[in-house]
Amino acid sequence: MKIERTTPKTLTLNQRRQSFAEVVTNLTPAEAQFETYRCFYCWDAPCQKGCPAEVEIPQFIWSIRSGNVAGAADRIYRANPLGSICGRVCPTEALCEKACISKQVNIPIAIGHLQRYACDQRLAGGGPLFSYPPISGGRVAIIGAGPAGLACAHFLRLAGRQVALFEPEEKLGGLLTWGIPAYRLAPETTQAEVKAIAGSIEWHQEKVDASRAQVILQEFDAVFLGIGKGVPARLQIPGSDLAGVRSAVQFLRDVAAGRGGFHDLVGKEVGTIGGGATAMDAARCSLRLGAGRATVFYRRTQEEMPAFASEYDAALDEGAEFVWLAAPIAIEASEGRLSVQFERMELGQPDQSGRRSPVPTGSRFTLKLDVLLEALPSEPDPTLMLLLDKNPKVFTGGDLAGGGTVVQAVADGKEAARKINEWLIQGGAR
């Protein structure tokens, strides 16, 4: 007998095309309860090993089952201070749920949805999420307030360290705030968890350049660099400086900031270059803003695409179109539109990433588009990379260190906090 997985309701496609509201709703108490009954409560559970943040998954599901939902949430929060965020944005199919033992006889437990359920109930119940001890010594500077920096700050504060956070933006959260659209992660959720951490640390709202970094390095006992990869690569082809060609990262930022001027997408044909999460979100945002057509052009195929299956499926559901094995080579302005020339690619030998590489075929085609969004791999800001140069008091994590997911950033921040703490206990730079 197959007992179906209980998943939350999602918005209809029509609603999704018109709104930035979260696509996936929260489980109801009855739904969450049903789902917990399917959990085997495995010993030495593989799901837990699949979680970079080491959330005690069987134990928290057991607590939801017993009716101790707040206890479940606090257990999640002990391992991951961004529990509700990760419950929403974790690619669970590639992490905990991939390892779920239920998968062997049935469908994996909806671990992400249950985590979100417990944390959301806890947030709705009010009361402080964390209780930090008084500061007992050790000053640490954290540069960059994304998930890695916030997690590092949180665990350092739990260890009684003083933490100063350097983040120039008007809101904390890094990509959580500026990169993940509201339909995947409600800004209120991000801010609720971010504020629970931020309340216990000093926030210096300033941009850290190379010379400021040197001063910080002198003033603090240790530095955590969590600046991510903030500089998106741009197309280096003829015409890539035309007005209709934009950075997808900047586009998502503008959407998150609620900056106007989106009416110009209504009815337009929007092309996106890339195959990662940013490309999927650029297409999905375009459609929500009224684009007549949103097409993603990727130089390899679906198989090699860095976006997770769930992100791709959602984009596809919402009407995004995909053109595989196509790379732009030149752009021209043409009657107020863009005339984009693509080269057909084919798959060659695997590259360093292990994925088959795109090889030009010489065959070309041209398409007319109104807007071209570049969602190419980003690079870290080079000005601060000097800090990393063999300096034992500088630690790093998150996307800067390879990261790739929010939960990996949390895990990195947690691990860095442990190392920094050890470093401070051993006497640090002295």
Residues lying near another protein in the complex (CB under 8 A) = 1, 3, 30, 37, 41, 43, 59, 62-63, 66-68, 70-71
Longest dimension (CA), the chain: 67
Closest distance between another protein and the C-beta of residue 65, in Å? 8
Choose between 68 and 391: whose C-beta lies nearer to another protein: 68
Closest distance between another protein and the C-beta of residue 92, in Å? 23
The DSSP bridge pattern shows strands 326-334 and 337-350 to be antiparallel
Say which amino acid occupies 119. C
Closest distance between another protein and the C-beta of residue 3, in Å? 6
Sign of the dihedral defined by the CA atoms of residues 80, 86, 90, 96, in that order: positive
Instruction: Give the bridge partners for 345, in sequence order.
Output: 360
Helix axes 57-65, 29-38, angle to 10 degrees: 130
Choose between 43 and 211: whose C-beta lies nearer to another protein: 43
Residue of 244, 243, 323 whose CA lies nearest to 279:
323
Choose between 102 and 378: whose C-beta lies nearer to another protein: 102
Closest distance between another protein and the C-beta of residue 44, in Å? 10
Choose between 37 and 365: whose C-beta lies nearer to another protein: 37
Closest distance between another protein and the C-beta of residue 159, in Å? 21
Choose between 30 and 124: whose C-beta lies nearer to another protein: 30
Token duo for residue 324: 């595989």
Residue of 399, 19, 14 whose CA lies nearest to 182:
19
Closest distance between another protein and the C-beta of residue 62, in Å? 6
Choose between 43 and 236: whose C-beta lies nearer to another protein: 43
Instruction: Name the region of 147 (left: φ>0; alpha: ψ -120 to 50; beta: rest).
Output: alpha
Closest distance between another protein and the C-beta of residue 58, in Å? 9
DSSP 366-399: EEEESEEEE-PPEE--GGGGGGGTT-TTEEE-GG
Closest distance between another protein and the C-beta of residue 38, in Å? 8
Choose between 127 and 362: whose C-beta lies nearer to another protein: 127
Is-contact 380 210, C-beta < 8 A?
no
The DSSP bridge pattern shows strands 202-204 and 394-396 to be unpaired
What is the chain's alpha carbon radius of gyration, rounded to the nearest angstrom? 23
Choose between 6 and 396: whose C-beta lies nearer to another protein: 6
Say which amino acid occupies 38. R
Choose between 41 and 365: whose C-beta lies nearer to another protein: 41
DSSP 78-128: HH-TTHHHHHHH--GGGTHHHH-GGGGTS----HHHHHHHHHHHHHHT-S-
Closest distance between another protein and the C-beta of residue 10, in Å? 18
